[in-house]
C-alpha cells in the first residue's frame, strides 16, 4: 500500500486529482507585482494541468522575484512530479532560505528525500516540517513511513497513530492513512492491532475494494482462508481503486488453495494466466 500512497501524492503534486493537498501552501501576498501576477498565471495553468506552461510562468515570476516562495514551492511540486529532483531541491532550498518558517517547503523537501531513499535527510526535514506545522497529518504519515524504512517500529507506530488522530480532529480520516498503517502492522505481525485499524477502515469506507482486499490478506494471515476468500470476492465486485483485479485474484488463489477448494483456486488461476498471456499480433 506504500506504493499506492506515493502514487496518490505524486498525482496530488502534479495537480492530477482533487482533494486535500499534502500540506498547506503559504498564501501569496495580495500585492499585485509582476512576480505575483506571473505566479497567479502559473498557478491557474497548474490547476488546468498545463504543467509546461505553468512551469514557464513560474520561471517568469522568479525572474521578477527570485525569492517568491509560492512560486518556488509550486515549481518544486511540478519538478518532483516530473522526476526532476535536482531542480526541485534547488527550488525548495531557495524557498527555505527566503522563508525559514515555511513548513510546506520543508515537507516537500523531506518528501523528495524520501522518494530518493535518503531516510536520514527525509527524517530531518519532516521533523522540522512537523515543528513548523504540527497539525498537518500528511507530515505525520510520511514520518511514519520514514521511521518504518529506518526500522524504528515504535516511532513509526506513534507517527501513524498521530496522523489518524490529526485527521479525526480535522473531521476526515483518509483512506490511504489507515491502509498504510494497517499494511505496516500486518508486516510487523501485529495482527490484533491490524484488525482494529482495518475494522475502523471498514466502518469509514465500506465500499472500498482496497479495504476488503486488505481484510482478505489479514484473514489469510490469521488462518481464516474462507474469510479471506469472502473478502477477496467482495473486493473483486467493487469499483477499481489502487488494488487491481490480478492482485485480488492472486489472493483468491492462495485463499481457496488454503481452504482446499481446488476448483475455485483453478478458476482464478486460469483467469490470471489468460490476462498475463500476450495476445498474438494482428
CA dist 22 and 120 (Å) reads 21
Rounded CA gap, 159 and 141, in Å?
6
How open is the CA angle 17-18-22, to the nearest 5 degrees? 95
CB within 8 A of 203, min separation 6: which ones? Answer: none
pTM of the model: 0.85
**For position 31, what pLDDT does the model report?**
61
71-to-43, 79, 114, 238, 245 alpha-carbon distances in Å: 8, 12, 22, 40, 40
Return d(Cα 271, Cα 172) in angstroms, integer: 37
DSSP symbol at 65: -
Please provide the DSSP assignment of 144-194 as one string: HHHHHHTT-HHHHHHHHHHHHHHHHHHT---HHHHHHHHHHHHHTT-HHHH
| Rounded-to-integer distance, Cα 173 and Cα 176, Å | 9
CATH of domain 206-277: 1.25.40
Encode the chain (282 residues) as per-residue pLDDT tens digits: 554 454 445 445 444 333 334 444 444 444 689 999 999 999 999 999 999 999 999 999 999 999 999 999 999 999 999 999 999 999 999 999 999 999 999 999 999 999 999 999 999 999 999 999 999 999 999 999 999 999 999 999 999 999 999 999 999 999 999 999 999 999 999 999 999 999 999 999 999 999 999 999 999 999 999 999 999 999 999 999 899 999 999 999 999 999 999 999 999 999 999 998 887 776
Distance, CA of 39 to CA of 70 (rounded, Å):
8
Asked: is 1-15+35-121 a CATH 1.25.40.10 domain? The reply is yes
How many CB atoms sit inside 10 A of residue 165's CB? 13
Which of 208, 128, 126, 217 lies closest to 175 in space, CA to CA? 208
The answer to whether residues 247 and 271 touch, using CB atoms and an 8 Å cutoff, is no
Give phi and psi for 86, each to the nearest 5. Answer: -65, -40
* Contact call for residues 232 and 212 (beta carbons, < 8 A): yes
Instruction: Specify the domain boundaries for CATH 1.25.40.10 within the chain.
Output: 1-15+35-121
Going by C-alpha positions, the residue among 82, 85, 150, 152 that lies closest to residue 116 is: 85
Amino acid at each position: 500500500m506504500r506504493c499506492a500512497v506515493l502514487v496518490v501524492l505524486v498525482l496530488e503534486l502534479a495537480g492530477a486529482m482533487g482533494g486535500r493537498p499534502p500540506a498547506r501552501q503559504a498564501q501569496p501576498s495580495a500585492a499585485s507585482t509582476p512576480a505575483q501576477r506571473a505566479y497567479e498565471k502559473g498557478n491557474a495553468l497548474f490547476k488546468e494541468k498545463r504543467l509546461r506552461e505553468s512551469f514557464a510562468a513560474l520561471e517568469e515570476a522568479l525572474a521578477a522575484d527570485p525569492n517568491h516562495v509560492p512560486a518556488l514551492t509550486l515549481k518544486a511540486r511540478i519538478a518532483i512530479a516530473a522526476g526532476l529532483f535536482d531542480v526541485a531541491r534547488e527550488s525548495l532550498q531557495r524557498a527555505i532560505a527566503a522563508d525559514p518558517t515555511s513548513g510546506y517547503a520543508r515537507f516537500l523537501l523531506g518528501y523528495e528525500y524520501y522518494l530518493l531513499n535518503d531516510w536520514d535527510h527525509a527524517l530531518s526535514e519532516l521533523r522540522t516540517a512537523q515543528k513548523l506545522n504540527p497539525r498537518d497529518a500528511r507530515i505525520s504519515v510520511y514520518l511514519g513511513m520514514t521511521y518504518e524504512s529506518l526500522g524504528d517500529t515504535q516511532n513509526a507506530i506513534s507517527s501513524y497513530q498521530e496522523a489518524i488522530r490529526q485527521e479525526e480532529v480535522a473531521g476526515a480520516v483518509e483512506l490511504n492513512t489507515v491502509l498504510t498503517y494497517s499494511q505496516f502492522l500486518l508486516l510487523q505481525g501485529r495482527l490484533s492491532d491490524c484488525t482494529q485499524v482495518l475494522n475502523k477502515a471498514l466502518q469509514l469506507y465500506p465500499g472500498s475494494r482496497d479495504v476488503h482486499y486488505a481484510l482478505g490478506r489479514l484473514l489469510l494471515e490469521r488462518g481464516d482462508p474462507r474469510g479471506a476468500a469472502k473478502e477477496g470476492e467482495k473486493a473483486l465486485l467493487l469499483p477499481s481503486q489502487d488494488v487491481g483485479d490480478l492482485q485480488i485474484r492472486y489472493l483468491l488463489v492462495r485463499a481457496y488453495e488454503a481452504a482446499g477448494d481446488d476448483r475455485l483456486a483453478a478458476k482464478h488461476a486460469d483467469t490470471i494466466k489468460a490476462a498475463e498471456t500476450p495476445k498474438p499480433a494482428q
